[in-house]
């Protein structure tokens, strides 16, 4: 295994920019309605509390609002902050490694690939590869690959080459 630091190419910056824009639009599409619904429920809870009535809406709605706020703070906000930080990256690392084991599983949600390299595990459901140059189907045990990624980012891989 060999790790090399190189400056990000213009094409790599375009990949990161494109990924950020797609994630931003998906966030607007999905998170904005959830935020609006949470705000509406919070408004109804406040109205019920002002009228000094504690109903099932107040109890269940409060639990719903707190769960949504917790999930947004725990998962969504850090994800978008990391995507934004990726845009300011100047260097990438190229990890030349070998595949120790590759396994594919067919589940009810589809095919899941788990690639075990000398560097790290790559789970096809939890790691996003921004540009497909080498498919999981083309990989085999003992194959030498190069993983192009950012140093402090374990979620995004720019691309994988031979």
Tell me what the mean pLDDT of segment 131-148 comes to.
90
Would you state the structure tokens that stand for residue 87, as one six-digit string?
């845009």
pLDDT of res. 161:
92
Mean per-residue pLDDT of the chain: 90
Give 64-118 pLDDT, tens digit per residue: 999 999 999 998 888 888 889 889 899 999 999 999 999 998 888 889 999 999 9
Give 22-79 pLDDT, tens digit per residue: 999 998 998 889 989 999 989 988 888 888 877 887 888 899 999 999 999 998 888 8
Contact 122, 115 (CB under 8 A): yes
């Amino acid at each position: 295994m060999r790790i090399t630091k190189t400056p990000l190419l213009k094409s790599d910056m375009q990949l990161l920019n494109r990924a950020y824009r797609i994630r931003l639009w998906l966030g607007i599409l999905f998170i904005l309605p959830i935020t609006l619904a949470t705000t509406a429920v919070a408004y109804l809870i406040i109205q019920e509390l002002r009228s000094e009535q504690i109903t099932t809406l107040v109890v269940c709605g409060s639990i719903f609002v707190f769960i949504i706020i917790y999930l947004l703070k725990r998962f969504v906000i850090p994800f978008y902050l990391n995507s934004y930080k990726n845009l300011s990256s100047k260097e990438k690392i190229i990890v030349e490694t070998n595949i120790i084991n590759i396994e594919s599983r067919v589940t009810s949600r589809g095919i899941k690939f788990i690639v075990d390299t000398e560097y790290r595990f790559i789970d096809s459901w939890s790691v996003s590869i921004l540009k497909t140059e080498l498919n999981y189907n083309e990989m085999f045990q003992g194959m030498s690959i190069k993983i192009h990624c950012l140093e402090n980012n374990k979620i995004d891989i720019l691309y994988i080459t031979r």
